[in-house]
Structure 1
Amino acid sequence: MTTYGELIKTEFPKLDDELFVYVDGIISGGADEFEDSDELYEAIGHVLEEVADEKTESEVRDVCDRILLILRPSSTEVKNEMRILNAPVNIASLAANIETVGEMKSIWMNQRDDGLKVDQRKLEKAEAKLQQKQDKRSGEPTKTVLAKPESASASQMVSKKDNKMDMKGTNRGLDIRIENFDIAYGDRVLLQGADMVMAFGRRYGLIGRNGLGKTTLLRMIAMGQLKIPSHISVLHVEQEVVGDDTPALESVLQCDLVRENLLQQEREITAKINSGHGDEELNSKLSEVYIQLQNIDADKAPARASVILAGLGFTADKQKRPTKEFSGGWRMRLALARALFSRPDLLLLDEPTNMLDMKAIIWLENYLQNWPTTLLVVSHDRNFLDTVPTDIFHLHTQRIDTYKGNYDNFIKIKTEKLKNQQREYEAQMAHRSHIQEFIDRFRYNANRASSVQSKIKMLEKLPELKPVEKETEVVLKFPDTEKLSPPILQLDEISFWYEKGKPIFEGVNLGATMESRICIVGDNGAGKTTLLKIVMGFLTPTKGARNVHRNLKFGYFSQHHVDQLEMKGCSVELLASEFPGRPTEEYRRQLGSFGVSGDLALQSIESLSGGQKSRVAFAKMCMALPNFLILDEPTNHLDIETIEALGKAINKFTGGIILVSHDERLIRMVCQELWVCGGGKIVAIEGGFDEYRKIIEKELEAVA
């Protein structure tokens, strides 16, 4: 019997291999994918007509009829096979009782059918080739679409069945499956054959080293380059709110489009009634609008929006201020507030704690534990990952592994998994060695020939295990310094305020030594950065005295230093321009001490991830050999492993350090003193970070 492939090749001899693979991929799903030959013609007819020579459209349709007859039994054969049942059959109950027998599986069991997949890359390649042929045929020049250098691209296998359901609007599930997808950035492959399955209502933490593609993955999902069901609403908090005259609270309320539309209808109908319209339908329409507003709890929306804004640090006064009066950081908080208020089916958050102070982080951790829809969050805050996620996605070696539980549970399972893999590998290597030793010993012994052959076959049948892949350890190293005799740094009765403004703080008495590990905490706007600038001499105190050792040399790291790096060149060129006249090996050695080595040091800074740029900024800061480090939010964009390495480097550093950070794990790891900014004062608290956390939680309880 002729197959449909033979029929196609016979009827269309000019169909090349690539286009045949494309056509075969569409047909191979089976006859059930097509209701009739017209639907089959719509799927492949445009391809066949391009290589059909003298064939007319009706002749191509006739070939589609014949293909469908090969795929599907004729109607008479179907009728002969029909049986009339004496009673209805409950398929669901039958499927529940069916058991798998040998290799046979029930057709009613849910299975992933890889045959019903469309390879997006092959599809695009075939369509591009077809377009070229059409252009050539019509006499128009062929248009070549060149991929932008250093741009991200994605492809995935899409279930044709799910695609049809989506197009028909019959898919209403809220679980998300992104299967067998690839992501590349320029020529570099970030993910290959990866799978992500997200159950509705669960909270997923996405972790992995800097530069592996976590942010790119979130953007691909948000932009629709990775396909998910169209009825699922997606919101990616990435850009700050545009500043205008809209009050902050109203800006959040405007996110609820349903409520806004109903309120607009209410205003319009009320205006018509008040203007003297005697239409009775207006009263009934107004009643319907009121019922709908009541059903969505519209009257409770302002209170809910206010609670979210208060949790993120917006006081009652700030909630009334227009958005244009807020800085970029506060507008990002406003964007987060709008997302939390909107409650999309899938919320994507990328490092949400970077823009928040400790109080707002603790509030967000508590709020997200009751998040009602699906959450996918990229974070490097260890405490946040222990508190919020119900599952962990681990991105590594171009794939994604899924773990149940929070980050702490992930570490335990991963560690045990690696130990088991290592034990299995070592056991097999020992077994292989034992067998090989027997083969080598009796290889030329005629009496043992059969035994040797048996051992050789046994060795060939053993599954080949690869050595356990271990991620390279991140090491950061600050320069060695010479001790300075005290006093090193002293602030006496310092007060500071800007012109015509109220004091930022008053009566500050602080001191630091070469052994200091001081962390400054407090709400945003409480004066932490101002204090750092006074310590370094960038600002002159309004009152009081600043005394520093004449040989004290500050190294200052700030997030804006990362943002202001020269993006055009590579890291080696950056150091050479800032510190000219030194050998290239010295620049590379300096970058290598902060994990920027090999080809990474020659890669354009623009193409580096946020964490990799931070490491370059660290290398630049330390090139001047400072002996006292001022680190303002150094963990932004650093991965967990690099934050751990930073903590170890701080503990080994022989100079003094003042740190501003909201990363609880780093604070606990390195800080010996805690200074709290707030209420116009800066005070040291006893009890360390635990005591500070208790103070914050009491304040949050009072607000709630």
Structure 2
Amino acid sequence: MTSIAAESVSTILVSCKQTRFHIESPNYRELDIEGLNITVTSRAAATGKGKGKGKAAAEGTEILNNAKLRLKAGSRYALVGRNGSGKSTLLKAIAEKLIPGIPEETRVSILQQTDLSDANSDDLPADGSSGRGGPTVLEDVVDKATAKSELEQEIELLSAGVSSTEPYAALQALRKLRHERMQKRLFILDKDARLRSGARGLQARKALVEYEKLVAQSASLKEQAAEDISAETLQTEIQEAVDMLADLQLQVEPSRIADTESQAKKILAGLGFTEASMSKPARSLSGGWRMRSSLATALLQETDILILDEPTNFLDLLGIIWLQRHLQSLEDSAAPPTLIVVSHDREFASSVCTDLLILKDKTLTYFHGDLPTYESAQAEKKVHLTKMKEAQDKQKAHMQETIRQNLAQGRKKDDLNKIRQAKSRQKRLDDRMGMQVNEKGGRFKLNRDLAGYHYATRAEIEVPHDERPVTLSLPDPSDLRFPGSLISLEGVTFSYHHRHRSPKPQPPPVLQDVTLTVSPGDRIGILGLNGAGKSTLIRLLVNPSNTTPGVLQHGTITHHPRLKLGYYSQHAVAALQTLARVQPDLTALSLLTRETSSSSSGGGEGELLSEGDLRGILARVGLPGRLATDVPVAKLSGGQLVRLELARLLWRRPGCLVLDEVTTHLDYETVSALRAALRAWPGAVVLVSHDRWFVRGVVEGVVDEEEEGDDEYDDGDGGSDGGRAGEGTAGGRRTRVVYKLAGGKLVELEDGVRQFEEGMERRVRKLMGG
């Protein structure tokens, strides 16, 4: 069975095996699809004349090859795979039912990754000036989740016909509504006919042809002249119109809508919306808040399969923990939906999901448990198979030497027994060597585990090869020449004032009496809810001279005279995307070349770097070879854009990195590599992040079980106990401290991330009435 779905610039080609047996009552929350193939190719390649589907697929990027997609009803899956492996493409194919075998009646709700170009995670618009009019946020969520506006349009159409004094108005409204519904059904049948091939495809195309005739008849009835309609037909269809109107009105009766609105309010509140922000126009929301609104819609819908692609992007820790609890609570419902989650946040995914769905090497594998357990199990399996293979290779070499000696002696002395013995051992060597355990982990038995295939040999013991690890390498900071603090804030109070005189009172200061010192090698974590002022504090740390439109009311901010500072903004990816739209031919290497050249020629902070130097910098952050030189920035994924922005910071060899939500858009492996690289880096790090696992590793120095004993991850400061300070940089103390920013105050958390997390847990319990 084959499917083709066109996008603006690419096409998804899907094919799979499908059972020939008809299932009367399928479980729409389950999927069991064999031989799944998914390829992404250009629209030109897919629609080119004279090209078959096979040739179009060969010219595209293969995502899956002969994979098995198996989802159990009500299970919660974390979809794991590296950036660019095709996770979003697979989710799109499921959501749009492009995969033959997914019944059209299956209800699929999906949250797709938001367009990053206008995303803003910190600030909800203060008013609706940028988009007055239109539905409010609450109305928009309820409407999209329930198709309320569509039902109201149908009710309006029938109501006008039924209440009209025109005798044929009700009949005409009924026929118009029927025809519109039939056209929607025709679209589904047409899609079904394109998805299927073989006997089932022939049957689907016959059904399509028959239904097209019915639609044509409906169109002619809609245009039928009044004088050709009999009185009996008129009376019958007027009654049908009245009955249909009553059914539709039941679906939008106030009590039902009130229940839905009440649930929508709870979800929106959990995701950070206040009562006032729920009443603002939906079109006034910034990108980050639109994503939260879309997430609320997905959670509110009644669905069989719920797909969430990076739902924690732009959520603060309060929203993340609320979402965890909400998704966990679905298990208690009568028919919990099957959940598929993609998230770079390890703690979120591990707490929500019971199973892993691993997309690797163009196939899908499954594991019951979380990611750390899977990684541990894979490591143990590799050790076991390695020992088994080494022992068997030794045994095999011994047997081969014995066989050689027996054959030589038998032929020399014409001893048939020796020759038969050698052949018997050779047969055993050929048939009985290989895996000594079956797929379930029990002892391998030839007559059971290869039943019906006794002539076959056992599979060779294959020790899994480690996938090429993601590595990130940070250059050592440049020399400061003389000691001193890198950044110092003393008693800083900062506020945003109205530009013009206004009767409204001035807002309270965003930061109040903030004191913070960053010394060489320090690890500083800043936690807080969205809107608490974290980004304002970061901007003051980075560039205290640029405070517009805010005012530094009092306090001092000083930098070390020779400090080179690297600042990763939470809007860095969006800024690169905007730049790429203006300059579509811009590549990572050409961007770095331009920036290093302008800095050197203008007497800036960097020396002129050669092309080889720049290639090396890009390779160290995961953009090697042609990815840096040939692929336009516009075609880089979100994770690759993060790497490019890091390269733009690192070529200057900064002594302090200020990172604001740097893990957004990165996959598990890259987040782990960046965590390890930052933990071992001798420079100072100021980190703002909602990823608890990442902050624990970078700031608190927590070392995971699989990292213990690895010199690459050892920074030598004894920070893994979560202590505040330890021996870090040469000749100094490395400070490790986590702060909470709330109400304009910067407060040190003695218990670090755990203390902040416990506070958010209490708020979530209160919010959910627990």
Q: Tell me the TM-score normalized by structure 1.
A: 0.72
- In the alignment, is the contact (CA less than 8 A) between 1:181 and 1:194 conserved in 2? yes
Separation of aligned partners in 1, 2:135 and 2:649: 41
| 1:490 corresponding residue in structure 2 | 488
- In the alignment, is the contact (CA less than 8 A) between 1:255 and 1:341 conserved in 2? no
Does residue 557 of structure 2 align to residue 698 of structure 1? no
Question: Per-residue deviation at 1:452?
Answer: 3.9
Question: Per-residue deviation at 1:232?
Answer: 0.6
Separation of aligned partners in 2, 1:512 and 1:174: 52
| 1:157 corresponding residue in structure 2 | 16
Question: Per-residue deviation at 1:300?
Answer: 1.4
- 1:203 is aligned, of 71, 76, 79, to 76
CA 1:239 to 1:594, structure 2 compared with 1: closer, same or farther past 3 Å? closer
Question: Per-residue deviation at 1:703?
Answer: 2.8
Separation of aligned partners in 1, 2:11 and 2:384: 36
Does residue 647 of structure 2 align to residue 619 of structure 1? yes
Separation of aligned partners in 2, 1:248 and 1:149: 29
CA RMSD of superposed structures (Å): 3.5
Does residue 610 of structure 2 align to residue 583 of structure 1? yes
Separation of aligned partners in 1, 2:748 and 2:512: 14
Does residue 558 of structure 2 align to residue 594 of structure 1? no
Does residue 106 of structure 2 align to residue 232 of structure 1? yes
Question: Per-residue deviation at 1:238?
Answer: 2.1
| 2:206 corresponding residue in structure 1 | none
Question: Which residue identity is paired with 1:630?
Answer: V
Question: Per-residue deviation at 1:559?
Answer: 4.1
- 1:342 is aligned, of 297, 301, 313, to 301
Separation of aligned partners in 1, 2:467 and 2:766: 45
- In the alignment, is the contact (CA less than 8 A) between 1:152 and 1:183 conserved in 2? no
| 1:479 corresponding residue in structure 2 | 475
Does residue 581 of structure 2 align to residue 561 of structure 1? no
Does residue 532 of structure 2 align to residue 673 of structure 1? no
- Please give the per-residue CA displacement for 1:260-319, whole angstroms capped at 9, x wherever unaligned: 566678889999999999x99999999866765579843311111000000000011111
CA 1:193 to 1:651, structure 2 compared with 1: closer, same or farther past 3 Å? same
Does residue 606 of structure 2 align to residue 647 of structure 1? no
- Please give the per-residue CA displacement for 1:354-405, whole angstroms capped at 9, x wherever unaligned: 1211110010011011232121111121101111112110111221111123
- In the alignment, is the contact (CA less than 8 A) between 1:233 and 1:346 conserved in 2? yes
| 1:323 corresponding residue in structure 2 | 282
- In the alignment, is the contact (CA less than 8 A) between 1:172 and 1:231 conserved in 2? no
Separation of aligned partners in 1, 2:95 and 2:157: 35
| 1:92 corresponding residue in structure 2 | none
Separation of aligned partners in 2, 1:206 and 1:434: 45
Question: Which residue identity is paired with 1:522?
Answer: G
- In the alignment, is the contact (CA less than 8 A) between 1:182 and 1:192 conserved in 2? yes
- In the alignment, is the contact (CA less than 8 A) between 1:392 and 1:403 conserved in 2? yes
| 1:46 corresponding residue in structure 2 | none
CA 1:202 to 1:437, structure 2 compared with 1: closer, same or farther past 3 Å? same
Question: Which residue identity is paired with 2:461?
Answer: L
Three-state SS of the structure 2 residue aligned to 1:375 is strand
| 1:246 corresponding residue in structure 2 | 135
- In the alignment, is the contact (CA less than 8 A) between 2:357 and 2:367 conserved in 1? yes
- Please give the per-residue CA displacement for 1:406-462, whole angstroms capped at 9, x wherever unaligned: 334433433333333333333332232222333455564325544444444444334
Q: Tell me the TM-score normalized by structure 2.
A: 0.66
Does residue 557 of structure 2 align to residue 546 of structure 1? yes
Does residue 685 of structure 2 align to residue 657 of structure 1? yes
Three-state SS of the structure 2 residue aligned to 1:496 is strand
Structure 1: 5+ residue runs without aligned partners? 1-117, 125-144
Does residue 349 of structure 2 align to residue 388 of structure 1? no
Three-state SS of the structure 2 residue aligned to 1:630 is strand
Separation of aligned partners in 1, 2:66 and 2:586: 33
Separation of aligned partners in 1, 2:64 and 2:573: 27
Moved more, 592-601 or 615-624: 592-601
Question: Per-residue deviation at 1:537?
Answer: 1.0
- In the alignment, is the contact (CA less than 8 A) between 2:489 and 2:517 conserved in 1? yes
- Please give the per-residue CA displacement for 1:322-357, whole angstroms capped at 9, x wherever unaligned: 122221111111111111111322222111111211
Separation of aligned partners in 2, 1:288 and 1:608: 50
Separation of aligned partners in 2, 1:585 and 1:649: 22
Does residue 389 of structure 2 align to residue 515 of structure 1? no
- In the alignment, is the contact (CA less than 8 A) between 1:152 and 1:216 conserved in 2? no
- In the alignment, is the contact (CA less than 8 A) between 2:343 and 2:349 conserved in 1? yes
Question: Which residue identity is paired with 1:375?
Answer: L
- In the alignment, is the contact (CA less than 8 A) between 1:211 and 1:608 conserved in 2? no
Does residue 747 of structure 2 align to residue 683 of structure 1? yes
Question: Per-residue deviation at 1:486?
Answer: 1.8
- In the alignment, is the contact (CA less than 8 A) between 2:29 and 2:305 conserved in 1? no
CA 1:296 to 1:161, structure 2 compared with 1: closer, same or farther past 3 Å? farther
| 1:637 corresponding residue in structure 2 | 665
Three-state SS of the structure 1 residue aligned to 2:524 is strand
Question: Per-residue deviation at 1:255?
Answer: 2.2
Moved more, 532-541 or 550-559: 532-541
Moved more, 215-224 or 649-658: 215-224
Question: Which residue identity is paired with 1:578?
Answer: E
Question: Which residue identity is paired with 1:550?
Answer: P
| 2:323 corresponding residue in structure 1 | 364
- Please give the per-residue CA displacement for 1:491-528, whole angstroms capped at 9, x wherever unaligned: 12222223416232222121111122111111112211
Task: After TM superposition, list the pairs within 5 Å mapping 1:424-503 onto structure 2.
Answer: 424-439=388-403, 441=405, 444-445=408-409, 446=411, 447=413, 448-461=418-431, 462=433, 463-481=459-477, 482=479, 485-500=483-498, 502=507, 503=509
Separation of aligned partners in 2, 1:328 and 1:373: 27
Question: Per-residue deviation at 1:631?
Answer: 0.7
**Total equivalences in the alignment:** 558
| 1:413 corresponding residue in structure 2 | 377
Question: Per-residue deviation at 1:152?
Answer: 5.2
| 2:711 corresponding residue in structure 1 | none
